[in-house]
Structure 1
């Protein structure tokens, strides 16, 4: 596979954006750390850090469509394979081609309130 070419395991930012704009049911799983996620993420995505994914995969198994996201699109391919390998998974699981870097070239990122205010996300108050 050459640069610029995506595999069947991937979805382009344009394809993902079109699904979101059409109101399709897509569960976007961002596998970065909580701190990285708070600094900017795809609107509507949820944070499931890669290290916790094996414990959380059962929760994703029943979804019709899951898209995994990481900074450059490499670790999210591994996350996609973890989700696909779970015996209860029967929906479509794909990785965002080029990751968050590719998404942010054309689309806005959502920042958490903690990130915008400078508050510590782990603070109890």
Structure 2
């Protein structure tokens, strides 16, 4: 894991030219109630079995409700050999995100 990023840091990444994968590790029902646009839902309980979905990712930011479970998720993702770049956790979680949220599945 390469540390934590703030909401402002994530907004800069999303506004820039970088390819960033946002992995929301909350349960599907919470994800559907509102998530950061462009994020994908990979619940923490299934992340170990689905981490290969992130193969070749240039940059990964994990997200949860408050920024705690996403630290554990970032550590797990960073340990996976298929990730090519930094892995960070969103420190404030979705609850601290002051940008727009998308409702529904978003897949």
Runs of 5+ consecutive residues of structure 1 not aligned to the other structure: 1-7, 115-125
Could you state the TM-score of these two structures normalised by the residue count of structure 2?
Answer: 0.90
The CA deviation string for residues 69-97 of structure 1, in whole angstroms up to 9 with x for no partner, is: 00010100000000111133331100001
- Structure 1 stretches of 4+ with a deviation exceeding 4 A read none
**Is 1:74 the equivalent of 2:68?**
yes
Correspondences of 1:87-106 after superposition (within 5 Å): 87-103=81-97, 106=98
* Matched residue, 2:10: 16
* Matched residue, 2:103: 111
Runs of 5+ consecutive residues of structure 2 not aligned to the other structure: none
The CA deviation string for residues 19-75 of structure 1, in whole angstroms up to 9 with x for no partner, is: 112242110000001111000000000000011100111221410100000001010
Relative contact order higher in (CA < 8 Å, ≥ 6 apart): 2
Question: How many angstroms apart in 1 are the aligned matches of 2:81 and 2:21?
Answer: 18
